[in-house]
């Protein structure tokens, strides 16, 4: 058998090859053909070279990528791979290089920017992975907490201790066979990421004599790391919300031609060199790259009162966990999945798995350092030995599954490992919906995926309910919202009124004189801006600020009354939530003529977590980057869908042919019968 490529009706690639190395090469090649622009952008972002063709808007990221040493870390991790994994990754890279020219010829963005596809290096997939996840754990939140504590006190910082607008999340749930109609386990979920065009996940099937696996790959990375089904076992992940990256306050001073950094043992030589960032349409920008014993310096320098360095596990351990990826493809049981996860490093995930023999798995995987509790809450002084790392958290938390397990970024299994978790609303709602039946099917899962009940609405509505002295229009608004079913449906006028009221409350709290000191974020690099902006932080912490953690000096009852009068005075009763809440997918090369995206159901704390930024925009920037249901009774009965389509090429028939299904909550069938697929014989 030679390598053969098939497509299903949605253009999803199904690949058959003689052995794992040939299969990895074919995966790289088809990815380059389908997603050339996307993976080349990611390669350049990991190298800090994207401003050379994207312009000055990409400069902030490129500076950060250089300073945090993404590409160099990937090289170190690749050099530390075992020979078999390195060969497998190399086969994928060879396929990418073989397919890039043909893929770039299809993608109009290359001509629009003048970009010529480059050559992938053996470590590039590791760099792409690291670029996706370096901000995944949200270490800039420590800068925000320090900012709040400095101006309003430590208690105020705790009031904002929820997942922020830039943090990725997911829903996931595992049902034992005792809870399903088939008697076999079901595994379902939806990863919440920044919604991108092309999408961040790639539906794919990889088959050779050793294994036959379908799932969601990350373009530019071999294998199927996060969501896969081998026929005998399936696995899925969510963000554990663990804290495993530390920010150190550094004292730096120049010394001869170098830089000294103050550590626990006194002044020590730091590594330093200068790199140059090319910028399309502007002058080149020099960047001084400094690294202390703690890690790369990501803000400030020798001329500042203090600088900040970042210590993160892949750079310390010289490993990303890629050895797990080929082992996952070979897995046949949950024990195999569990064993493969011994390699996992970045990011820290909650993993669920089930197999056809009835095995179930629910555990945390990744590398979390042992250190002082304050390391998780704020930047800590580099010169104090108390804040040094002291080994690794082990064993990682796990739980027995007898009936069902739910994971939705809340403080549960991973509680010992983190500081800021998602509110419990999604997890509670999923559990409530699952517990309504004992004989659940694959078809029932779509109803859970698309549930729009907003549990977090109660905090604002409770304050509104106590509001006295409202004018007639505001009182009518209050009465409507108190009767509202709390569902953020696109066609709901009540949901629109609630969102408008919430936004008005958020803006008024953010503008309150008691928070004036937070309005101007500290002078950190622009890449950290999403974590440091006041209004988004208020929007995501609103439930706390109106309930258990009010801010001193802020009369929230008065704020809600004023906001109700404001909204009632301008209310348009024909306005529906979907008129405000539209998809705003990120593109590396924005389209200046783009029309508003499609109308969306859901909201941040709904199971259908289509997130906006209350007080800033109603547009959705983050949401389900895929949905899936893995059936352990019959793999061919599994279902999946992505927001756009299998192709990253605008105008291709499969660029956005899944969007209508994604919008309505439909899950598309997984095709496993090779005879029902179309073989693609053209040479690319």
pLDDT single digits (tens) 321-363: 999 999 999 999 999 999 999 999 999 999 999 999 999 999 9
Helix (H, G, I), strand (E, B) or coil at 396: coil
**Could you give the domains of the chain?**
4-134+168-244+317-427+624-673 (3.60.20.10), 140-167+453-486+493-575 (no CATH), 246-311 (2.30.120.10)
Helix (H, G, I), strand (E, B) or coil at 277: strand
Measured CA to CA, the distance from residue 119 to residue 100 in angstroms comes to 9
Residue 590: burial class (beta carbons within 10 Å; 0-12, 13-18, 19+): exposed
Measured CA to CA, the distance from residue 627 to residue 171 in angstroms comes to 10
Helix (H, G, I), strand (E, B) or coil at 479: helix
The dihedral built from the CA positions of residue 50, 54, 56 and 57, taken in this order, carries a sign that is negative
Number of Cβ within 10 Å of residue 210's Cβ equals 12
β-strands 169-175, 404-407 pairing: antiparallel
* 626-639: average pLDDT: 98
**For residue 549, what pLDDT is reported?**
72
Task: For tokens 């690749």, name the residue.
Answer: 78
β-strands 639-641, 668-669 pairing: antiparallel
- pLDDT of 157 over the 90 cut: no
Measured CA to CA, the distance from residue 519 to residue 533 in angstroms comes to 7
597-611 burial: b if 16+ Cβ within 10 Å, else e: bbbbbbbbbbbbbbb
Measured CA to CA, the distance from residue 582 to residue 602 in angstroms comes to 11
- pLDDT of 684 over the 60 cut: no
8 Å CB contact between 406 and 431: yes
Chain centre to alpha carbon of residue 174: 21
46 is catalytic: no
Residues 6+ apart with CB under 8 A from 541: 159, 160, 161, 162, 549
**For residue 682, what pLDDT is reported?**
67
8 Å CB contact between 542 and 614: yes
**For residue 161, what pLDDT is reported?**
73
Give 111-150 as a DSSP string.
Answer: HHHT-------TTHHHHHHHHHHTTTT-THHHHHHHHHHH
pLDDT > 70: percent of the chain:
99
Quick one: pLDDT band at residue 683, thresholds 50, 70, 90?
low
Instruction: Please give the structure tokens belonging to residue 458.
Output: 């109660």
Q: Which of 50, 170, 467, 612 is catalytic?
A: 170
- pLDDT of 154 over the 90 cut: no
* 168-192: average pLDDT: 95
Measured CA to CA, the distance from residue 255 to residue 261 in angstroms comes to 10
CA end-to-end span of the chain: 19
Quick one: pLDDT band at residue 34, thresholds 50, 70, 90?
very high
pLDDT single digits (tens) 256-303: 889 999 999 999 999 999 999 999 999 999 999 999 999 999 999 998
φ/ψ region of 14 (left if φ > 0, alpha if ψ in -120 to 50, else beta) reads beta
pLDDT single digits (tens) 474-515: 999 999 999 999 999 999 999 999 999 999 999 999 999 999
Angle at 419 between CA 414 and CA 424, to 5 degrees: 65
* 203-212: average pLDDT: 98
Instruction: Please give the structure tokens belonging to residue 126.
Output: 């590791």
**For residue 572, what pLDDT is reported?**
76
**For residue 127, what pLDDT is reported?**
98
pLDDT single digits (tens) 65-109: 999 999 999 999 999 999 999 999 999 999 999 999 999 999 999
**For residue 1, what pLDDT is reported?**
58
* 53-74: average pLDDT: 97
pLDDT > 90: percent of the chain:
90
pLDDT single digits (tens) 377-432: 999 999 999 999 999 999 999 999 999 999 999 988 999 999 999 999 999 999 99
- pLDDT of 179 over the 80 cut: yes
| Nearest Cα residue to 219 out of 132, 114, 102, 137 | 132
Instruction: Give pTM, 2 decimals.
Output: 0.96
E strand residue ranges, 498-633: 611-613, 617-624, 627-631
- pLDDT of 468 over the 70 cut: yes
């Amino acid at each position: 058998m030679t390598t053969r490529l098939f497509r299903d009706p949605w253009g999803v690639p199904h690949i058959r090859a003689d052995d794992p190395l040939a299969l990895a090469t074919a995966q790289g090649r088809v990815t380059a053909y389908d997603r050339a622009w996307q993976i080349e952008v990611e390669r350049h972002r990991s190298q800090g070279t994207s401003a050379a063709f994207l312009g000055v808007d990409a400069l902030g990221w490129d500076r950060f990528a250089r300073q945090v040493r993404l590409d160099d870390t990937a090289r170190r991790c690749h050099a530390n791979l075992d020979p078999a994994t390195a060969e497998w990754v190399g086969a994928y890279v060879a396929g990418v290089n073989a397919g890039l020219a043909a893929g770039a010829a299809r993608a109009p963005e290359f001509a629009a920017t003048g970009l010529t596809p480059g050559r992938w290096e053996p470590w590039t997939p590791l760099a792409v992975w690291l670029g996706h996840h370096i901000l995944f754990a949200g270490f800039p939140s420590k800068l925000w907490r320090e900012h709040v504590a400095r101006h309003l006190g430590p208690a105020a910082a705790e009031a904002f201790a929820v997942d922020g607008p830039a943090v990725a999340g997911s829903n996931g749930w595992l049902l034992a066979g005792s809870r399903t109609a088939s008697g076999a386990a079901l595994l379902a979920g939806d990863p919440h990421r920044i919604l991108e065009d092309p999408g961040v996940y790639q539906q794919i099937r990889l088959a050779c004599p050793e294994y036959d696996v379908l799932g969601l790959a990350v373009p530019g990375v071999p294998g199927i790391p996060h969501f896969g089904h081998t026929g005998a076992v399936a696995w899925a992940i969510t963000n554990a919300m663990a804290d495993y990256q530390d920010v150190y306050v550094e004292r730096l001073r120049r010394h001869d031609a170098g830089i000294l950094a103050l550590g626990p043992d006194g002044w020590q030589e730091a590594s330093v060199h200068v790199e140059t960032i090319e910028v399309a349409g502007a002058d080149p920008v020099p960047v001084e790259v400094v690294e202390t014993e703690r890690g790369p310096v990501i803000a400030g320098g020798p001329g500042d009162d203090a600088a900040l360095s970042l210590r993160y596990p892949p750079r310390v351990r010289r490993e990303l966990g890629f050895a797990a990826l080929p082992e996952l493809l070979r897995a046949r049981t949950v024990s195999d999945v569990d064993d493969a996860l011994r390699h996992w490093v970045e990011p820290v995930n909650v993993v669920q798995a089930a197999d056809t023999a009835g095995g179930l798995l629910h555990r945390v995987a990744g590398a979390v350092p042992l250190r002082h509790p304050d390391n998780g809450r704020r930047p800590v002084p580099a010169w104090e030995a108390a804040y040094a790392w002291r080994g690794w958290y082990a064993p990682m938390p796990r739980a027995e599954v007898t009936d069902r397990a739910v994971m939705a970024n809340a403080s549960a299994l991973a509680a010992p490992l983190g500081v800021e978790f998602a509110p419990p609303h999604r997890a509670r709602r999923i559990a409530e919906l699952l517990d309504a039946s004992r004989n659940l099917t694959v078809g029932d899962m779509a109803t859970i995926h698309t549930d729009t009940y907003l549990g977090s609405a109660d905090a604002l509505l409770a304050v509104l309910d106590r509001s006295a002295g409202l004018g007639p229009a505001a009182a009518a608004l209050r009465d409507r919202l108190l009767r509202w079913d709390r569902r953020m449906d696109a066609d709901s006028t009540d949901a629109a009124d609630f969102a408008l009221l919430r936004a008005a409350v958020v803006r008024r709290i953010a503008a309150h004189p008691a928070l004036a000191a937070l309005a101007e974020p500290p002078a950190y690099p622009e890449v950290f801006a999403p974590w440091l902006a006041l209004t988004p932080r208020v929007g995501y912490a609103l439930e706390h600020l109106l309930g258990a953690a009010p801010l001193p000096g802020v009369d929230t009852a008065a704020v809600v009354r004023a906001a109700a009068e404001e909204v009632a005075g301008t209310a348009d009763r024909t306005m529906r939530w979907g008129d405000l809440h539209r998809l705003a997918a990120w593109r590396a090369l924005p389209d200046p003529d783009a029309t508003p995206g499609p109308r969306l159901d859901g909201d941040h704390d709904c199971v259908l977590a289509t997130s906006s930024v209350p007080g800033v925009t109603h547009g959705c920037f983050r949401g389900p980057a895929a949905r899936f249901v893995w059936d352990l009774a019959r793999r061919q009965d599994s279902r999946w869908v992505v927001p756009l389509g299998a192709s990253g090429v605008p105008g291709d028939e499969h660029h956005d042919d899944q969007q209508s299904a994604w919008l309505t909550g439909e899950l598309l069938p997984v095709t496993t019968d090779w005879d029902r697929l179309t073989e693609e014989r053209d040479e690319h």
